[in-house]
């Protein structure tokens, strides 16, 4: 019987954007990374091109989970863009609205019984073929985004890894963290549908189906309290 192998990634920085919906000039972001966005990041790192649909859709089989270590604040960025005709004449001005998450921190875990696949992904992320980014090309990955590889399931790992939030955030908030995982990884949790199962990244025919996702909570409060420095504890 094969054991699971899990790679954990950390996404943090001034801005991130993880939209699963877009309406012309309005570009939304979800409040945590989508599986389809992470699959796109993996595919880029592995060197898959948008037309290589068979290779890309196989990445849907990876088990996926995300832990929200630091909730981001929503930012709306106002843009204007000019459109010109083929002859160079001005045609019109577009007004666009783009949404981002500020100061968010997420742990994303991906697991598979195929050790070779996880090792291949790990190498590709450290040596990407195409440049990966956090939802938009202007948002680079942090230097410490590869947390590690573990010989166990992703839920177990997400329940054990230390809280990654900034110290100022930890002082203001509880270490009771939201987590979202593929619904088949947990029992007795209500599943919700999220449209981010990749069918095609082809620019001429981008397609996504629904996948089932479940939410649960990870309580790191006891571990965090034990490691926190209390200058009055010795009085």
- Of residues 217, 212, 222, the one with CA closest to residue 69: 217
String of b and e for 171-190 (b: at least 16 CB within 10 Å)?
A: eeeebebebbbbbebeeeee
String of b and e for 107-129 (b: at least 16 CB within 10 Å)?
A: bbbbbbeeeebbeebbebbeebe
Sole residue written with tokens 């004449």: 89
pTM: 0.85
All domains in the chain, ordered by first residue: 5-227 (3.30.70.2660)
pLDDT at 76: 86
Distance CA 114, CA 4 (A): 8
Sole residue written with tokens 């230390």: 162
- Of residues 87, 68, 78, 43, the one with CA closest to residue 161: 68
pLDDT, averaged per 10 consecutive residues of the chain (235 residues), comes to 84 88 70 94 95 94 97 85 81 81 96 93 95 89 94 95 96 95 91 92 88 95 58 40
Residue 27 · residue 75 · CB < 8 Å: no
How many other CB atoms are found less than 10 A from the CB of residue 73?
A: 9
Residue 151 · residue 177 · CB < 8 Å: no
């Amino acid at each position: 019987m094969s054991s699971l192998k899990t790679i954990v990634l950390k996404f943090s920085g001034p801005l991130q954007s993880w939209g699963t919906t877009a309406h012309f000039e309005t570009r939304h972001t979800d409040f945590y990374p989508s599986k389809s966005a992470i699959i796109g990041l993996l595919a880029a790192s592995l060197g898959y091109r948008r037309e290589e649909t068979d290779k890309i859709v196989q990445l849907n089989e990876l088990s996926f989970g995300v832990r929200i270590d630091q909730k981001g604040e929503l930012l709306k960025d106002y843009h204007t863009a000019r459109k010109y005709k083929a002859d160079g004449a001005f045609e019109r001005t577009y007004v666009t609205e783009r949404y981002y998450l500020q100061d968010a921190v997420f742990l994303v875990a991906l697991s598979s019984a195929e050790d070779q696949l996880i090792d291949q992904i790990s190498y590709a992320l450290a040596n990407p073929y195409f440049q990966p980014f956090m939802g938009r090309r202007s948002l680079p990955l942090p230097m410490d985004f590869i947390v590690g590889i573990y010989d166990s399931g992703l839920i177990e790992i997400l329940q054990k890894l230390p809280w990654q939030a900034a110290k100022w955030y930890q002082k203001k908030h509880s270490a009771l963290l939201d987590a979202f995982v593929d619904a088949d990884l947990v029992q007795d949790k209500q599943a919700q549908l999220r449209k981010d199962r990749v069918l095609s990244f082809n620019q001429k025919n981008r397609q996504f189906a629904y996948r089932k996702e479940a939410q649960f909570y990870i309580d790191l409060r006891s571990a965090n309290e034990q490691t926190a420095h209390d200058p009055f504890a010795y009085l």
